[in-house]
Amino acid sequence: MVPLSYYLVLSGILFACGVLGFLIKRNIITIFMSIELMLNGVNLSFVAFAAHWKVLAGQIFVFFILVVAAAEAAVGLAIIIAVYRTRETLNVDQVNLLKL
């Protein structure tokens, strides 16, 4: 059986990739995908713990996260489309109207 630490390391790598992608990428779509990556990194650690401790709560949590993430993706993609229509770009550095 694969030990717990492997899952957790993978989960950490996934999360770190997400963070890194979020920070360095300029395209909103890519950033959005990085967020999903972070969410799934967390999901992985949840199921890993649930399997390891034989507790169902972790699995159930993952379902909730998936549902919320789906909803979020719907809203987020809608916003991205709206942004693209008005500003004709997906570069976040140019979406800075609220800057002081």
Partner 1 sequence: MTQNPYLWLIPTLPLAGAAINGFFGRRSSKTAVTTIALVFPALAFALACWIAVSFSSSAAPYVFDLAHWIRSGSFSADFAFYLDQLSLVMMLVVTGVGFLIHIYSVGYMADDPSYYRFFTYLNLFMFFMLTLVLANNYLVMFIGWEGVGLASYLLIGFWFTKDSAASAGKKAFIVNRIGDFGFLIGLFLIIQHFGSLTFTDVFAKVQSLGVESSAGLLTAIGILLMVGACGKSAQIPLYVWLPDAMEGPTPVSALIHAATMVTAGVYMVARSHVIFERAPIALTVVAVIGTLTAFFAATIGITQMDIKKVLAYSTVSQLGYMFMACGAGAFSAGIFHLMTHAFFKGLLFLGAGSVIHSVGGEQDMRKMGGLRSYIPWTFMTMLIATAAIAGIPPLAGFWSKDEILWKAYEANPVYWVIGAITAFITSFYMFRLLFMTFWGDYKGIKVDDHGHAHAAHDHGGHGHGEPHESPMVMLAPLMILALLSLVGGLVGIHNGFEHFLEPVFGSEFPKAIAEPGNTEWLLMGISVLFSVAGLVLAYVLYVSKPYLPEKISASLGAFYDAVVNKYYVDEIYAKIFVKPLVDASTSILWQGVDRKVIDDSVNNAADGARHVSDEVRHMQSGNLRSYAGWIASGAAIVIAYMIWRGVGQ
Contact between 100 and partner 1 (CB under 8 A)? yes
Among 9, 24, 60, 81, the residue binding partner 1 under the rule CB under 8 A is: 24
Instruction: Compute the least distance from the CB of residue 53 to partner 1, in Å.
Output: 18
Among 4, 10, 17, 19, the residue binding partner 1 under the rule CB under 8 A is: 19
Give me the count of residues in the chain: 100
Instruction: Compute the least distance from the CB of residue 91 to partner 1, in Å.
Output: 10
Look at the block and give the residue holding tokens 């998936």: 66
Look at the block and give the residue holding tokens 């790598």: 13
β partners of residue 27:
91
Contact between 33 and partner 1 (CB under 8 A)? no
Contact between 81 and partner 1 (CB under 8 A)? no
Closest alpha carbon to 75 in 32, 39, 44: 32
Instruction: Compute the least distance from the CB of residue 28 to partner 1, in Å.
Output: 9
Query: Distance between CA atoms of 28 and 84, rounded to whole angstroms?
Result: 10
Distance set, CA 62 to CA 33, 47, 50 (Å)? 18, 7, 10
**Residues of the shown chain interacting with partner 1 in the complex, contacts defined by CB under 8 A:** 19, 22-24, 26, 31, 92-93, 95-100
